[in-house]
A and B are shown apart, each in its own frame.
Chain A
């Protein structure tokens, strides 16, 4: 079974631009979560989608948004990029979205903001 895929793997943007990252979950998984990983702040939860609905949201500004499609694929968008948005963005999928459920992580998208 194919794992979680994220595209693109690398991105370079400049301040003020916007960016869209994509995540394709494991087939049959209905929950997708997004995390930001930086050297300074570590791994931080961004949001979780289940059946096209956002169920949880982390403590990030409104510039960070996401959505989930009917096929469970998810996108996250960051508008008005700042230097501090440079990070590895990880998405994870799980079957049920319950706390007990194993989450499978993708390889991440590395975003560099210049």
Chain B
């Protein structure tokens, strides 16, 4: 069955430390891949997306993600976390033949220690 997995439900990092959030997908073909962030009481904001080409994608707010076909992964990274990055992060996939329907992972809640 097609699925998106975010193995880490909660992650806590210290401000200034690096961050990596994991995302794995299970689809027959390479899907379109997205990372969204949701702050408390807010909707979702797109951080970055991958369709094809360069496997390292740059996004907003200093985030980047790397697509690894062999591992079916699309992990999100940031070299130095700021307190304002505390939020919930969602990995999502879309398929070319499914309009813009997105399937989301369960999310990872990031907490930032001062």
- Specify whether A and B are partners: yes
Interface residues of A (CB under 8 A from B): 4, 31, 33, 35, 42-45, 48, 50, 55-56, 58, 90, 92, 94, 97-108
Q: What's the Cα separation between A100 and B49 when bound, in Å?
A: 9
Residues A103 and B100 in contact, CB atoms below 8 Å apart: yes
Chain B residues with Cβ below 8 Å from A106 are 43
Interface hits, B1-53 → A, CB 8 Å: 32, 36, 41-46, 49, 51
How large, as a class, is the contact surface on chain B?
Answer: 20 to 34
The one of A31, A42, A107 in contact with B100, judged by C-beta atoms closer than 8 angstroms, is: A31
Residues A45 and B43 in contact, CB atoms below 8 Å apart: no
Residues A101 and B100 in contact, CB atoms below 8 Å apart: yes
Residues B90 and A99 in contact, CB atoms below 8 Å apart: no
Residues B101 and A56 in contact, CB atoms below 8 Å apart: yes
Chain B residues with Cβ below 8 Å from A48 are 99-101
Chain A residues with Cβ below 8 Å from B103 are 45
The one of A43, A55, A102 in contact with B90, judged by C-beta atoms closer than 8 angstroms, is: A43
Residues A99 and B95 in contact, CB atoms below 8 Å apart: yes
